[in-house]
Structure 1
Amino acid sequence: MGRLAAASLVGTAIEFFDFFVYGTAAALVLGPLFFPTFSPLAGTLAAFGTFAVGFVARPLGSALFGHIGDRYGRRPVMFASLVLTGCATVAVGCVPSYATLGITAPLLLLVLRFLQGLGLGGEWGGAVLLTAEHAPEGRRALWASFPQIGPPVGFLLANGVMLALSAGLSDAQFREWGWRVPFWAAGLLAAGGLLLRSSLAETPQFERLAAEGRRAGAPLAEVARDHWRLVLLTAGALAVGYAVFYTVSTWALAYGTEQLGIDRTVMLVCVMGAVAISGVVTPFVAILGDRHGRRPLCLAGCAASALWMFPMVGLLHTGRPVLMFLGFTGALLAFITMFAVVAAYLPELYEPRVRCTGAAVGYNLAGVLGGALTPIVATAVSSGGTGAPWGVAAYLTVVALVSLGCFALLPETKPAARTESPEGVPA
C-alpha cells in the first residue's frame, strides 16, 4: 500500500503541477503576452478563458480514460494520462507570444490547454481507484487520500518555481522567458512519474471483474442510463471545493496583484502557505472519514465554506499578508474537510464495473461548475469597484449552499455503516 500510495501521490502531483502552473501563468503574465490588444481587465478575463478550457476538457478526458479504466484496467490510465498531460505542458512553454505569431498564439494555447485538461481528466480516476481498490475497508479513506495530497504538492511545486523565478529575475526577463521554465520542467517530471509507475499491479477488483466476464461494454452509456442522477449530485456537491480552491489559488493572485497592487511574490507566499497546510492535514482528516463516515465531513466542509467566504474576502481586501494568509487558510481547511474523503467516497458510490467512468465524470464535471467559471465570474464581479469584492463572497456562499444540498441527498458509504447499495441514490 505504501508503494501504491506513493506512486499515486507523485503522479497526481506531477499532473496537477502541469495544470496549476498554467493557472498561475494566466493570473500573472499570459494576458499581456497573448492578448496585448485587450485592456488589462479584458486580457485577464481572456487568459482565464483559456484556463477554463482545461476544465471543460476534463469531463471528456474522464469519459475517454474512464472507458479505458473500466474496460482494460486502472493501470493503463495512469500511464496514458501522464504522457498526454506532460507533452501538452511542455508544448505550452514553447508557444511564441502574440507579438510573434499573432492570433495563432492564443489559439495554440487553447488547443494545448484542452489537451492538458483531457489528460488530467483521466488521471484522477486511475490514481484514486488504484489505491482505493487495493486498500482495506477500514483504512480506505486514509489510503485513498494520498492522491488528494497530489494537488497541493503540485501547486506548491508550480508556484515555488514561479516564486523563485519571479524573485530572481527582472520583470522583463520573467515575462520574456522565465515563466516558460516550469512548463519545460514538466517533461522531466513526467518521465520520473512514468518510471515510478512502471511496476504497479492492477487492482484485485478489476482483475476479478475481468476473470468473471463482468466488465462494462459501454461504461459511459451505462453511467448515463443508470447513474445520471448520482453523477449530477456528485458534480453539484463537489463544485464548492473547486470554487473555493481556485478562488484562492488563481483569482486571488490576479486580484491582489492587479487591483490591490500587492507584489506577486507576497501573494504567492500567502497562497502557498495556506495550500501547504491543507496538504499536511489531508491524511488526518481522512482518518476521521474512516472513523465517522464520509458524508458528515463533506457536510461540515460545505457549511464551513458558506460561513467563511465573507470573512475571507474581507481579509483579502486588507492587503495585509498575515490577514490574507489567515483568510486563505480558513477557506482551504474547509475545502480539504470535503476533499480529503471524496477519493474514497466517490468510488464507493458506484458499482465496480462503471466506477472509473462514473466517479471520474462526476468529479471532473464539478471542475467545470466550480473551477472553470469561478475565476471568470469573480474577476468580472470584482472589477471596477473600490471596496471589498463582496459579490465574490456572495457567489461563493451560494455555491457552498447548493453543494450542501447535494451532499444532503447522497448516502453514507462507510463500509460499517452502509445500509443501502453502494451505487447509492434511488432514481
Structure 2
Amino acid sequence: MTDHPSSSPAVPVAERQAEGSGSDAAKVNKMPKVAFASFMGTVIEFYDFGIFGTAAALVFAHAFFPALGTYAGTIVSFATLGVAFVARPIGSVLFGHFGDRLGRKRTLISTMMLMGVATVMIGLLPTAANAGIVAPILLIVLRIAQGLAAGGEWAGAALFTSENAPSESRGFWSMFTNLGGAVANILALLTFFVTGIAMTNESFIAWGWRIPFLLSILLVTVGLYTRLKLEESPVFASEVQRRGRSSLPFKDALNNQWKEILLGAGALVTCFAFGYIGIAYLINYGTATLGLGQNGVLAAGIFGNVVNGLCMISGAILSDRFGRRPVLLVVNIVGIPWALILFPLLDTGSPMAFWVGIAVSFFIAGHGWGVCGSFLSELFHTRYRFTAAGLAYSLAAILGGGVPPLVAATIIGSYGGFTFGVFLACYSVAGLACTLALRETRATSLDDLTSKIGANS
C-alpha cells in the first residue's frame, strides 16, 4: 500500500517548499557540495565504526573481557564487532522507512547524531576492572547503536549523491560515499598509530585507546554543519510531488524486488570479505600471530586503505566507462585465487609479505566498493530505494564483513590459513554467481525506475 496524492492529505505548503521541486533542488545541490557532504558524513560514520574494529583487535580483549584470556577474549571482541553487522539491516529498515517517507536529508542527520553519541560514550565507558560485567554489556549496547546508525547512513549518503548526479558520471560521484569510508579507516588507524607512538603500550591499553573515540565529536560537528546546508534530493522531491510517498517502503521493496535485494547483496560480499579482513582481522593477525610490531602493522593498514581509496576511484571510473557489472565480475573472479594465496603468503612472516597481503586485499575490495553506490542506486525504485539499497548493502556487510573476521581465528587456529582461504574463495564464487544473475544498470535513469512501477507499488 502506498500514499498517493489523490488519496492522501495534501502536503503542507511549508513542507513542499522545504522539499522543493526537482529543478530547484538541482540548482542548489551542486555536485561537489553534494559529494563532499556524503563523503564527510561517511568519514564520520565509518571513522567511528572503524576505530571500534581496530580497538577490538588491539585492546578490547584486555579491557572488557580479561577473564576469558587472550585467545577467547579476542574471539569475543570480534563477536562484538559482528553485533553491529547484525544490527545494520535493522537500521536499514528503520532509517530506510524514514528516508523513503520523510526524505534523505533529515534521516542522514539522524544517523550521524546516533553514531556520534554512541562513539563518544564508548570512549567514556568503564572497563571490566572497574565495572565488572556491566562494562561489556554497555559496550555491546553501544555497538548495536553504531550498527543501527551505519545501516541507515550508507544508503542515505549514496542515494543522495546518485540522485543528484548526472547519469554519465553517476558512478564517479556516487563513489565518494565509500571513499569516505576509506579515509575514515586511514584516520582511525592513524589516530591509533600516533597514539601508540606518543605513549607507552601500558598507557595505551590503560587509557590511550579512548582518545580516538572522543575525537570523533569534532568530526560530527563538521558533518552536521555540512549536511544542514543541503536541500532534499531532486529525484525524491519529484517522486513525492508526482506520486506521494510509500506508506510501507519495506513491504514494497520485498514485494517488488526481493530477488534484487538478495542478489545485490551477494554480488558485493567479496569486497566486504577482503575489505573487513584487512580492516579488522589482519591487524590482530599481524601482531598476535605473526609477531610483527604494532606500529608496523598499523602503518601497513594505513597504506592498504590508501590503496583502497585509489581503487574505489578506479572502480567508479571504470564502471562509468564499461558498466557496473563488468567491474564486479572482475572483482569476484580475481578474488578466488587471491583468497587461496593470501594466508600462505602472510604465514611466511615477512613484513613485506604482510604489506603486500593487505594491499592486494584492498585492491580487490576497493574496486568493488567503488561500484556499489551507483550499482545499488540504479537497481531499485525511488519509492523504496533507501530501504532496499540499504538492506542489500547491510546484508552484504553481515555476510562479507561480519562473518569472516568472526570465524577467522577459529578456522585458522583449528585448520590453518589455507582452509580459511578456501572459505574466502567460496565467497567470491557466490559473488560471481550473483553478479551474473543481475542485469547491467549503468544506462538506467533513476526517474525511469520511478515511472515503471506504476500500479505494482
Letter in 2 for 1:391: T
Q: Is the 8 A contact 1:148 1:339 kept in 2?
A: yes
Determine if contact 2:312/2:368 at 8 Å carries over to the other structure.
no
Deviations 1:10-29 (A, max 9, x none): 11011100000000000001
- What residue number does 1:383 align with? 413
- The equivalent position to 2:55 in structure 1, one of 20, 25, 34, is 25
**Does the 8 A contact of 2:287 with 2:294 survive in 1?**
yes
Q: Give the structure 2 partner of residue 37 of structure 1.
A: 67
Map of 1:291 onto structure 2: 321
Residue equivalent to 2:435: 407
Instruction: Provide the rounded CA distance (Å) in 2 between the counterparts of 1:321 and 1:297.
Output: 30
Residues 297-349 of structure 1: per-residue CA shift (max 9 Å, x gap):
00100111112112222222122222211122112111122211110010101
Report the counterpart of residue 324 of structure 1 in structure 2.
Answer: 354
Distance 2:104 2:269 in 1: 25
Q: Which residue of 2 aligns with 1:152?
A: 182
Q: CA deviation at 1:141?
A: 0.3
Does the CA contact (< 8 Å) of 2:334 and 2:364 recur in 1?
A: yes
Note if contact 1:22-1:51 (Cα within 8 Å) is conserved in structure 2.
yes
Task: Report the Cα distance in structure 2 between the residues aligned to 1:421 and 1:220, rounded to whole angstroms.
Answer: 17
The yes-or-no answer on 1:342 pairing with 2:372 is yes
Contact 2:111/2:150 (CA < 8 Å) preserved in 1? yes
1:59-80 deviation line (CA, Å, top 9, x unaligned): 1111111111111111112100
Q: Which amino acid aligns with 2:107?
A: V
Match of 1:88 in 2: 118
CA distance in 2, matches of 1:350, 1:22: 31
Deviation readout 1:383-422 (Å, 9 max, x if unpaired): 257xx6112211110111111111110110111799x979
**When the two structures are aligned, how many residues end up with a matched partner?**
421
Matches within 5 A, 1:4-403: 4-383=34-413, 389-403=417-431
Report if the CA contact (8 A) 2:328-2:435 is conserved: yes
**Does the CA-based 8 Å contact 1:301-1:336 persist in structure 2?**
no
- TM superposition shift of 1:381: 0.9
TM-score with structure 1 setting the length: 0.95
The answer as to whether partners of 1:36 and 1:43 remain within 8 angstroms in 2 is yes
Query: 1:234 deviation in Å?
Result: 1.3
Structure 2 unaligned spans of 5+: 1-30
Q: Report if aligned partners of 2:92, 2:152 keep a CA contact under 8 Å in 1.
A: yes
CA deviation string 1:184-230 (max 9, x = no partner): 01112111110111111111111111111332110001112222111
Letter of the structure 1 residue corresponding to residue 222 of structure 2: G
Counterpart of 2:13 in structure 1 is none
Q: Which runs of 5+ in 1 are unaligned?
A: none
For 1:105, give the aligned amino acid: A
Q: Distance in 2 between matches of 1:339 and 1:351?
A: 21
What is the CA distance between 1:175 and its match in structure 2?
A: 0.7
Q: Judging changes above 3 Å, is the alpha-carbon distance between structure 1 residues 401 and 417 closer, same or farther for their aligned structure 2 residues?
A: farther
RMSD of aligned alpha carbons: 1.7
Runs of 4+ in structure 1 deviating by more than 6 angstroms, as ranges, are: 420-424
Flag the 1:416–1:222 CA change in 2: closer, same or farther, 3 A. Answer: closer
Kept after mapping to 1: 8 A contact 2:189/2:301:
no
- Partner Cα separation in structure 1 for residue 219 and residue 36 of structure 2: 15
Q: Distance in 1 between matches of 2:410 and 2:420?
A: 9
| Cα deviations by residue, 1:249-291 (Å, 9 ceiling, x for unpaired) | 2111111111121111111111210111220232232111111
Which has more radius of gyration? 2
How many Å separate the matches in 1 of 2:436 and 2:242?
Answer: 36
Question: What secondary structure does 2:347 align onto?
Answer: helix
Cα distance per residue 1:70-109 (max 9 Å; x no partner): 1111111210000000000000011111011111100000
Contact 1:75 1:202 in 2 (8 A): yes
Quick check: 1:2 aligned with 2:32?
A: yes
In structure 2, give the amino acid aligned to 1:306. Answer: I
Counterparts of 1:215 and 1:378, CA distance in 2: 44
What is the percent sequence identity of the aligned residues?
Answer: 37
Cα pair 1:88 1:113 within 8 Å, conserved: yes
